[in-house]
Amino acid sequence: MRSQLHANKRANAVTQHDIKLELDVRCQGLIEKALHRSFPQVALLGEEGVAGEADAEYRWVVDPIDGTVNFAYGIPHACVSIALQRRAQASEAADFEDGYQTLIGVVYDPFCRELWTAIRDEGAKLNGKSIRVSQRRKISEAIVSIGFAKTRENLEATLPYFIDLAHHVRKLRIMGSAALDLAYVATGRFDAYIERGIRLWDVAAGGLIVECAGGEFWHQAVPRKDAYRMIASNGLLRRQLRIPA
């Protein structure tokens, strides 16, 4: 990905608020082959398609390029996100409403050479060193990242909330990569990150990293398949934040 930042890129699809690159498909194919070679029984759910048995006990959840629009424009703020999930047993509480629990999360930013990793119940790390969320308790001191989903409905619902929130926080940020926003919350760079409509492959790895770093990853399914509204925070600001209606 790093070597392709300033190269000419071919788009497979372009909409008003999104770009799908041929490189997205190619990167997922490379990731899929590498994972299948070592773990042939594990299925894969990715932004660019699925592979393996739909009812497999384990599955990878992959976003080959999270922050595609940034990347397409030559902005060095994008990453690879990979999570390993296990189908939850009947007696278990699942991480996601479709019955899977995330066990491992990995987010890699090739431009800053930063690798976030988390294993459930074992903490979160950045380049091998333990990380923790921030300890800020006042919304007035917080830096909050917010994402604008790609549909007109979500855009119109989020804009008034964005304007209101801007009057209460220290700074708002719109970065364009959900997985990196979550990693930044886990590292204490951001105090919270909010999205009204986000896909599973954008947040599966980063959500676990936030939790393993001592934060809170609240999420709720929305009607679109594999989609959620969510608030990730340091766990101290949850009552001062809300999701756009």
CA distance 81 to 218: 19
Mean pLDDT score, 230-244:
89
Report the pLDDT value the prediction gives residue 60, as an integer from 0 to 100: 97
Report the pLDDT value the prediction gives residue 152, as an integer from 0 to 100: 79
Question: How much is the mean pLDDT over the chain?
Answer: 89
> 139-240 maps to which CATH number?
3.40.190.80
Mean pLDDT score, 122-137:
97
pLDDT band at 157 (very low <50, low <70, confident <90, very high): confident
- Note the pLDDT tens digit of each residue in 32-81: 999 999 999 999 998 888 888 877 899 999 999 999 999 989 999 999 99
Q: What is the 3-state secondary structure (H, E, C) of the chain?
A: CHHHCCCCCCEEEEECCEEEEHHHHHHHHHHHHHHHHHCCCCEEEECCEEECCCCCCEEEEEEEEECHHHHHCCCCCCEEEEEEEEECCCCCCCCCCCCEEEEEEEEEECCCCEEEEEECCCCEEECCEECCCCCCCCHHHCEEEEECCCCHHHHHHHHHHHHHHHCCCCEEECCCCHHHHHHHHHHCCCCEEEEEEEEHHHHHHHHHHHHHCCCEEEEEECCCCCEEEEEEECCCCHHHCCCCC
pLDDT band at 180 (very low <50, low <70, confident <90, very high): very high
Report the pLDDT value the prediction gives residue 126, as an integer from 0 to 100: 98
Question: How do the domains of the chain map onto residue ranges?
Answer: 2-130, 139-240
Q: Who wins on pLDDT, 148 or 165?
A: 165
Report the pLDDT value the prediction gives residue 163, as an integer from 0 to 100: 93
- Note the pLDDT tens digit of each residue in 214-223: 999 999 888 7
Tokens of 8: 């000419």
pLDDT band at 242 (very low <50, low <70, confident <90, very high): confident
Report the pLDDT value the prediction gives residue 155, as an integer from 0 to 100: 82
Report the pLDDT value the prediction gives residue 89, as an integer from 0 to 100: 76
Tell me if 179 sits within 8 A of 203, measured CB to CB.
Answer: yes
> Cβ atoms within 10 A of the Cβ of 112, count?
12
Report the pLDDT value the prediction gives residue 94, as an integer from 0 to 100: 62
Whether 139-240 and 2-130 are alike in CATH topology: the answer is: no
CA distance 39 to 159: 43
- Note the pLDDT tens digit of each residue in 74-120: 999 999 999 999 998 766 666 666 789 999 999 999 999 999 999 99
User: Taking the model in full, what pTM does it have?
Assistant: 0.91
Fold of 2-130: Fructose-1,6-Bisphosphatase; Chain A, domain 1 (3.30.540)
